[in-house]
Amino acid sequence: MNSDLATRRLHAAAAEAAQCTRCPLYRDATQVVFGEGPVGAPLMFVGEQPGDKEDRDGRPFVGPAGRILDAALAEIGLDRGAAYVTNAVKHFKYEPRGKLRLHKQPNRGEVQACRWWLDRELALVQPKLVVALGVTAARALLDRAVVLSRLRGQSLELTGGQHLIVTVHPSAILRMRDEDERHDAFRGFVDDIRFAAKLAKAA
Ligand code: URA
């Protein structure tokens, strides 16, 4: 498929996803947060689900976790606009707590229901390499239970033939209270993304 047609189909999928009722999460979220980036992007980053800021803005990884991702991309000189960034689940799942909306992990059914959209993104963007950010994304992509520490650092393969690298979710780095620990975790995250970019180049 040529890239103009794939781009039109991707936009059509995003418009269709905006009306999605495949799982109950659409009821409480502000809007669908579809992926963004160009068709043919060599790298696709897949997070868990939009956070509070993403839910309000309608764009993936624009909140605190996105700042960690951007910082890691800047470290290796990778332009975020050249990558495709999305999530395993496209609606924000949360628990209201006073004025706050606290992140709640999506369940298996919600992840599976949303795989429909992730599959469309994979088929149309055709990335050379997919980076799963955290365990929910890894589970969604591999369609099985995973232990992140066992898969980290390996080059895996998806059924569509793309390479897959599994790394930590940027929010896990943000949650670390100890500064040295947080610094080391960020360095490890940068190394994983550098490895992914190198594999994508060679693919
Ligand atoms: N966390 C995610 O997994 N995705 C986002 O888009 C934002 C935070």
The pLDDT tens digits for 139-189 are: 999 999 999 999 998 999 999 889 999 999 999 999 999 999 999 999 999
- Determine if ligand 1 sits within 6 Å of the CB of residue 162: no
* Reported confidence tier of residue 91, pLDDT bands at 50, 70, 90: very high
Best substitution site from 25, 59, 87 to test ligand 1's pocket, by max atoms within 8 Å of Cβ?
A: 87
Summarize pLDDT for 120-153 with one digit per residue, the tens: 999 999 999 999 999 999 999 999 999 999 999 8
pLDDT of residue 160: 86
Thinking of the domain 3-202, which architecture would CATH place it in?
Answer: 3-Layer(aba) Sandwich (3.40)
pLDDT of residue 60: 98
- Determine if ligand 1 sits within 6 Å of the CB of residue 63: yes
Q: How far is CA 13 from the centre of its chain?
A: 17
